[in-house]
Structure 1
Amino acid sequence: MVIAFMHFDPIRALYWSAVINGVTAVPIMLIMMLMACSRRVMGEFAVKGILSWGGWLATLALAIAAVGACVPG
């Protein structure tokens, strides 16, 4: 009921919450990839090969998308 009386644009709020989610996901994914590829952390279950390349490619794509979402224009 309070939101109905506020001058609040829910679409803009959804957009900015998605931007914040994308920006905060980049460092989390970076740390996860570093840990997943580390033999010291994961032991014999460390990620390697095509799965490692795919993870780093996804991390790079997410970082590019986050930068693109934050650039005005």
Structure 2
Amino acid sequence: MYSQQELDDAVAAGAITADSANALRAFISTQRSASIVDEEQFRLITGFNDIFVALASVILLVAVSWIG
């Protein structure tokens, strides 16, 4: 993407208006702050069912180590 200095230079050269540069800066800042659609929110043991899954995993690991 363009740096702040490059946008300021474009305004000084007359390639874009100052309002356009500010609008682009605002648009980019909102795009960068928005979360990505495919971004997975990692949560560890968020519900009561997850406690049973964690308990079953511990029991499985203990059983495998005892057998093996």
Q: Same fold (TM over 0.5)?
A: no
TM-score (normalised: structure 2): 0.38
* More helix by percentage: 1
TM-score, normalised on structure 1?
A: 0.37
Q: Which has the larger radius of gyration?
A: 2
- Which of 1 and 2 has higher RCO (CA within 8 Å, sep 6+)? 1
